[in-house]
Amino acid sequence: MPSSPCPAGATRNPFTSVETPAVGVSIEKLTKNFGPLKVLKDVTFSVEPGEIFVLMGPSGSGKSVLLKHIVGLELPTSGRVMLDGKDASSEETREHVRMALVFQSGALFNSLSVYDNLALYPREHQVADEAGIREKVMHALQILSLDGTEQKSPSDLSGGMKKRVAIARALVMEPQLMLYDEPTSELDPVTSATISEIIATLKEEYHVTTIVVSHDRQLAFGIADRVGILMDGELISLGPPADLKTSKDPRVAEFLNPKIDLKNPRFKHLETKP
């Protein structure tokens, strides 16, 4: 990785070292309904250029749907998402802002080698000749400490290595904006910590604006500049991680430190009969 610091307000391309202005994201009164289901309710926040923003919240609260609006896979019912000051739903904006989403599942092709998974996008978009693509792919694998895996199938790798391959594949897109959906789910705590470190390092080295959807508290408190909490489609909390611990909102405290109450009717089926 490059050793000279990337200036504030710029994103450095990991492969060419060319610096471009860092990109900000602005979510403005975003509402999304699927038929009668109200999934996002008037959500407003912005992510500063070069920031790591972690969006937390229980399952089903609308986190993945929100990410899909940023990459243009879903369109708002009302409100809008702006990337670098331009509407995210337009084709032109998506061509102008280079972004990469690391899917929760990894979305890797097991029928292709690790190398071919990484080469897929640059080949499709003819970003370079095969020698140029090879250089990018090998460099991305090196950044993620995956040297030697290029001929393997993703199915032969551990969960943590698969996640690193998915991140390397995103990096090959030379993103100014990296989005991660639950990057540490299904990983053990040590591997989760490694993935969190990688996310933070990519941001430090390249100043890639980073949005992470996660309910991993270690990750949020470890690497986030700011955290938002989404609950039932509403943003109930927004601020630096330290502020969460002192939040007066009981929903925030309950989310961060859930109490198990065996008298709760939810656990009725566990009661033993005399």
With contacts defined by CB under 6 A, name the span among 32-40, 130-138, 235-243, 264-272 that binds ligand ADP.
32-40
105 contributes a contact to ligand ADP by CB under 6 A: no
Q: Hunting for tokens 């993945």 — which residue is that?
A: 64
Q: Which residue lies nearer to ligand ADP by CB, 65 or 157? A: 65
Among 2, 7, 21, 60, binds ligand ADP (CB under 6 A): 60
* CA dist list (Å): 149 to 114, 140, 145, 152, 198: 7, 12, 10, 5, 18
Q: Say which entry of ligand ADP, Mg ion, none residue 62 contacts (CB below 5 to 8 A, set by partner kind).
A: ligand ADP
For 124, the 3-state DSSP assignment is helix
Q: In angstroms, how far apart are the furthest CA atoms of the chain?
A: 74
* CA dist list (Å): 237 to 147, 208, 228, 269: 41, 24, 5, 34
Q: Are 57 and 231 in contact (CB under 8 A)?
A: yes
- H or E segment to which residue 140 belongs: helix 130-143
Neighbours of 155 (CB within 10 A): 10
Q: Say which entry of Mg ion, ligand ADP, none residue 7 contacts (CB below 5 to 8 A, set by partner kind).
A: none
Binders in 61-80 for ligand ADP, by CB under 6 A: 61-65
Q: Which residues bind Mg ion (CB under 5 A)?
A: 64
Q: Which residue lies nearer to Mg ion by CB, 64 or 117? A: 64
Q: Which residue lies nearer to ligand ADP by CB, 34 or 109? A: 34
With contacts defined by CB under 6 A, name the span among 18-26, 31-39, 153-161, 169-177 that binds ligand ADP.
31-39
